[in-house]
């Protein structure tokens, strides 16, 4: 099962397939990450706290 490179949380295969570039198995950031977010093709620090 794929694992987030930032926080170590497990993600579904479908999430990894959609949000991970080709040739990379594990996403760089996931919905559980509070400190980082996806921004286009990049990952950046969150500007404000994220709630779940």
pLDDT at 41: 76
Residue 52 reports pLDDT greater than 60: no
> What separation in angstroms does the CA of 45 have from each of 1, 6, 17, 19, 50?
25, 11, 23, 17, 11
Q: What does the chain come to in residues?
A: 52
Give the pLDDT score at 22.
87
Number of domains observed in the structure of the chain: 1
Q: What is the pLDDT of residues 3-51, one digit of tens each?
A: 999 899 999 999 999 988 888 889 988 888 888 877 777 878 887 766 6
Do residues 8 and 26 touch, judged by C-beta distance below 8 A? no
pTM of the model: 0.70
SS (H, E, C) 25-37: CCCCCCCCCCCEE
**Domain range for residue 33?**
1-52
pLDDT of residue 37: 75
């Amino acid at each position: 099962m794929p694992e987030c490179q930032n926080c170590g949380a497990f993600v579904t295969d479908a999430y990894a397939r959609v949000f991970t570039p080709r040739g990379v198995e594990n996403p760089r950031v996931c919905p559980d990450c509070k400190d980082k977010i996806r921004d286009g093709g990049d990952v950046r620090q969150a500007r404000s706290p994220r709630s779940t």
